Structure 1
Amino acid sequence: MRAAPTALRSIPGVSKVQWITDRRVALWVDSAAMGAPFQVQVLLARDWNAKPDATFPALYMLDGLRARDDESGWTIETDAASFYADKNVNVILPVGGQSSFYSDWLEPDNGKFYQLETFLMKELPPVLENSLRTTTTRGVIGLSMGGTSAMALTERNPGFFKFAGSFSGILTTTSLGMPQAVQYAMNDAGGFSAAKMWGPPSNPAWAAHDPYVNADKLKGVSLYVSSGSGMTGPYDQPSGIPGVSTNYAGMGLEILSRLTSQSFATKLNKLGIPAQINYRPSGTHSWPYWQFEMHQAWPQVANALGVEANAPACSVGGAIAAVANANPWLGGCVTGEYGVAGGVAQDYRNGRIFFSSGTGAQVVAGMIGGAYQAAGGPAGQLGLPTTSESPAPDGRGRFNHFQNGSIYWTPQTGAHPVWGAIRDEWVRQGWERGPLGYPVADEVNTPGKPGAVQGFEVGAMYYSPTTGTNAVQGLIMGKYGQLGYENSWLGFPKTSEIGVKDGGRFNRFEGGNIYWSPLSGAWSIKNGPIFDAWGSQNYENGRLGFPVGDEFPINGGVQQNFQFGNITLIGGRAEIH
């Protein structure tokens, strides 16, 4: 019942790993500097699956001032996941860091004590290099706050990045009025104080993080700088005033970006440092323009990182071609066919197709694809897919069946594999339309005792070699957990839930039972004299009714109360009252 091993299910220095798709993974990387894990998502390189021994350059992509804690703006607001699907770089997306400027702060503020320069430059790289097949060839792109940071981090860490790109960045932080503008923006985005970040404007930390002041340290780096003009562009809604869009804040910020970018570019020119400078004739401070620049910058990024700008041609044929043609949402192929355990696979922009003569050609994609990758893919416990992704009969979820199990997904529960004895019993009870509903967690080994457990929407399924596979659910599950699950005196369940009179239910366990009814609640009763005495009265059907409490100590013994009486155990002798 042990879960299949995979190199990216447990990573040194990472407290949690979550596969989002087969080529997008979220890592909660431990940070000693910040005293807590920090989430980083990685879009894995095109050939990650096809060439398992290959390593890939890294492209860091930094977010803006209003960075969210759940997902990078690059994957929320742009087509980054699809765009980089045929690029041979690992795209590194720090998640969070609102108003941080990706720097090491002097003091904590508003519940945050950012040390993001230390994290990104020192704590994160060993994880990427040791566990995600990432090389030390790196580039960085940022928008707005992230553009400022892309240049500042490159200057402050010589040799770390070979490419640095700023899209609408504020590229001077110490010129007249700029500290005040930074303070206003940080307060507006999260209520942060710039003084907590770098101290008062007279503090040397301000100049130390100013891209303009330190521009001479960019020699030898491939540079890309862009900004709009603030005027209404192709992605803006006109306001009715010529040249002015309805995005008034975005207009002002882009004008500021243009002015500071021009100053920065002028200094680079005086220093003899080449850079690709793009002053767009229109455009405001908003995501559609940064997506455009991401596409435009790619050939230069690819050249700097030493990868091909255009993906090699790939062909589709045989049974895989028929399935690809029937599922145009997969997008075009990004690799040729390559061997996997038991068959072949081919990667597409939005998923994979697997084929063997015994299983046919099947599509695995999305979060189900992520769960499949986490479970070891074709070489793991599930084996090859035997169906493509299909809607579940209840209309709420989706699933793929595999040679040795299934993966089920809903928007509420995510995607989780079900296999072995637990799956067999779940199937017997009615799949997702049975009493447990959908899986909400992967199967794990039970701590302290040989066995396994998997969480479902309405309880859990337990397996042990001695008791088999049984479900515990609802308020009985609540009582079981209160007492310590399988490590308590109850041990593993010996039955799934059984119905009794008045709508009541119970489970048998190795050391006793838990009974529940609408009127009495859920209570445990140990195997032994009290249980035997209760049984002599025909259990819940007799004159005592259901238990209304757990066993508790009294003078000289213990007592258990029932709906219509109690049983005491004193000196080994049970008495019914």
Structure 2
Amino acid sequence: MRRVLLLVVAMVAGLVGAVASPQVANAAEVVNVVGLSPTRTAVFVRSPAMNQVVQVQILHPAGGGSRPSYYLLDGLHPGVNESTWTNATDAERFFLGKNVNVVLPVGGFASYYTDWDRPDPRFGNYKWETFLTRELPPIIDGQFGGNGVNAIGGLSMGGNSAFILAARNPWLYRAVAGFSACPDTAMSMPAIVASIAMRGGDPTNMWGPINGAGWRDHDPALVADRLRGKALYISTGTGLPGPHELELKPQLAENILTGGPVEAMVFACVVGFEQRLRGMGVPAHFAYRPLGTHSWSYWQDDLHDSWPMIGSAIGA
């Protein structure tokens, strides 16, 4: 009888091992860590979902201890060697002394930080939602002091993506921020389609046929109730030249000629999104700037303005 029992236990253990081993084999893993400063670390993660190594930079306190994490996403043209948040704003200096991990993915050109239905000939195999919501958080929490409390935010494309990811994974985030972003996929669909197509990608490879079920499945406005109870911050300018257009910068003309009309469209879209949330009784803070274009100086201002709300929600 004892031999039979041992044999059954061994068989069960073998079956459990056979089921569990693929999960272990397919887990994301850190392949390299580079300390860039006492408060900034580059982490290179092998993503099974995307079958590539993804760099993530973390802004963090100099000391130890556990802390919440703020995933901060880039725009359509993300940095190549670092997030544009650290080379176009004062984010690194701003977060000094704050008890939070600021998690900055590097890459994701025109990806909308989502899982694409099909590999795209221009962009490759994008599976950003899986990476950001399944593969990366256990690494941040297990190896870099994260305590499991998270917020997510971003600008423009990254802001839309932050709300999409939060609506699809509401258990993961306590706060969401979007700067110059309109997270109403139906309203912003023409801009999303154009932004991908103009960069050589096929928008139907992302969520399937335009305005089909896949696009509706990624529309926070349709499932805004999932955002209830979170701290929500959305900002936009009007597109009219503002105080930062008085600064002499190399991109000044582009900010006015291109960033002005883009921001005006975002403004109109955000007004509609606010009406949608109000109609559903979902509280959110909308920061309307009377002036300002679609440009980094304003997103730096938004980062500062939103932090008391975001930081408080995650206990940072």
Q: Secondary structure at the match of 2:132?
A: helix
Tell me what 1:125 maps to. 137
Residue 90 (str. 1) matches residue 101 (str. 2): yes
Give me the whole-angstrom Cα distance separating, in 2, the residues matched to 1:181 and 1:246.
18
1:57–1:134 Cα contact (<8 Å) kept? yes
1:171–1:257 Cα contact (<8 Å) kept? no
Tell me what 2:294 maps to. 285
Give me the whole-angstrom Cα distance separating, in 1, the residues matched to 2:85 and 2:69.
16
Give me the whole-angstrom Cα distance separating, in 1, the residues matched to 2:29 and 2:162.
25
1:29–1:39 Cα contact (<8 Å) kept? yes
Residue segments in structure 1 that go unaligned for 5+ positions in a row: 1-11, 239-243, 308-577
| CA RMSD, 1 decimal | 1.7
2:123–2:201 Cα contact (<8 Å) kept? no
CA offsets, 1:409-428, max 9 Å, x none? xxxxxxxxxxxxxxxxxxxx
Tell me what 1:174 maps to. 186
Tell me what 1:150 maps to. 162
CA offsets, 1:494-549, max 9 Å, x none? xxxxxxxxxxxxxxxxxxxxxxxxxxxxxxxxxxxxxxxxxxxxxxxxxxxxxxxx
The structure whose residues are more often strand, as a share, is 1
Label 1:39 to 1:246 Cα distance change in 2 as closer, same or farther (>3 A): closer
Shift of 1:211: 2.3
For residues 469-484 of structure 1, what are the structure 2 equivalents within 5 Å?
A: none
1:65–1:144 Cα contact (<8 Å) kept? yes
Residue 209 (str. 1) matches residue 218 (str. 2): yes
Label 1:246 to 1:99 Cα distance change in 2 as closer, same or farther (>3 A): closer
2:186–2:211 Cα contact (<8 Å) kept? no
Tell me what 1:30 maps to. 46
Give me the whole-angstrom Cα distance separating, in 2, the residues matched to 1:76 and 1:181.
26
Give me the whole-angstrom Cα distance separating, in 2, the residues matched to 1:111 and 1:155.
25
Shift of 1:179: 2.9
1:69–1:97 Cα contact (<8 Å) kept? no
1:236–1:245 Cα contact (<8 Å) kept? no
Partner of residue 230 from structure 1, selected from 226, 236, 239:
239
Give me the whole-angstrom Cα distance separating, in 1, the residues matched to 2:110 and 2:310.
26
Partner of residue 15 from structure 1, selected from 31, 54, 58:
31
2:232–2:284 Cα contact (<8 Å) kept? yes
For residues 73-84 of structure 1, what are the structure 2 equivalents within 5 Å?
A: 73-84=84-95
Give me the whole-angstrom Cα distance separating, in 1, the residues matched to 2:84 and 2:242.
21
1:237–1:246 Cα contact (<8 Å) kept? no
| 2:277 maps to amino acid | L
Give me the whole-angstrom Cα distance separating, in 1, the residues matched to 2:42 and 2:197.
29
Tell me what 1:250 maps to. 259
Label 1:270 to 1:179 Cα distance change in 2 as closer, same or farther (>3 A): closer
Q: Secondary structure at the match of 2:82?
A: coil
| 2:212 maps to amino acid | N
Partner of residue 173 from structure 2, selected from 151, 155, 161:
161
For residues 322-401 of structure 1, what are the structure 2 equivalents within 5 Å?
A: none
Residue segments in structure 2 that go unaligned for 5+ positions in a row: 1-27, 248-252
Tell me what 2:208 maps to. 199
Give me the whole-angstrom Cα distance separating, in 2, the residues matched to 1:198 and 1:256.
23
Tell me what 2:193 maps to. 183
Label 1:36 to 1:246 Cα distance change in 2 as closer, same or farther (>3 A): closer
1:68–1:96 Cα contact (<8 Å) kept? yes
| 1:40 maps to amino acid | V
Q: Secondary structure at the match of 1:214?
A: helix
Label 1:246 to 1:174 Cα distance change in 2 as closer, same or farther (>3 A): closer
The structure whose residues are more often helix, as a share, is 2
Give me the whole-angstrom Cα distance separating, in 2, the residues matched to 1:245 and 1:16.
38
Shift of 1:111: 4.1
1:174–1:210 Cα contact (<8 Å) kept? yes
1:227–1:278 Cα contact (<8 Å) kept? yes
Q: Secondary structure at the match of 2:238?
A: coil
For residues 37-56 of structure 1, what are the structure 2 equivalents within 5 Å?
A: 37-45=53-61, 48-49=62-63, 52=64, 54-56=65-67
Shift of 1:304: 0.2
TM-score by length of 2: 0.86
Label 1:70 to 1:187 Cα distance change in 2 as closer, same or farther (>3 A): farther
| 1:28 maps to amino acid | F
Between the two proteins, the alignment pairs up a number of residues equal to 283
Partner of residue 304 from structure 2, selected from 281, 292, 295:
295
Give me the whole-angstrom Cα distance separating, in 1, the residues matched to 2:119 and 2:261.
29
Q: Secondary structure at the match of 1:224?
A: strand
Shift of 1:269: 1.1
Give me the whole-angstrom Cα distance separating, in 2, the residues matched to 1:298 and 1:111.
33
Give me the whole-angstrom Cα distance separating, in 1, the residues matched to 2:140 and 2:38.
17
Tell me what 1:265 maps to. 274
Shift of 1:180: 3.0
Tell me what 2:110 maps to. 99
Tell me what 1:405 maps to. none
| 2:152 maps to amino acid | V
2:112–2:158 Cα contact (<8 Å) kept? yes
Shift of 1:198: 1.1
Q: Secondary structure at the match of 1:100?
A: coil
Shift of 1:187: 2.7
Give me the whole-angstrom Cα distance separating, in 2, the residues matched to 1:232 and 1:144.
18
Q: Secondary structure at the match of 1:159?
A: helix
For residues 471-510 of structure 1, what are the structure 2 equivalents within 5 Å?
A: none
For residues 415-494 of structure 1, what are the structure 2 equivalents within 5 Å?
A: none
1:211–1:264 Cα contact (<8 Å) kept? no
Label 1:246 to 1:122 Cα distance change in 2 as closer, same or farther (>3 A): closer
TM-score by length of 1: 0.48
1:174–1:201 Cα contact (<8 Å) kept? no
Identity %: 39
Give me the whole-angstrom Cα distance separating, in 1, the residues matched to 2:123 and 2:290.
41
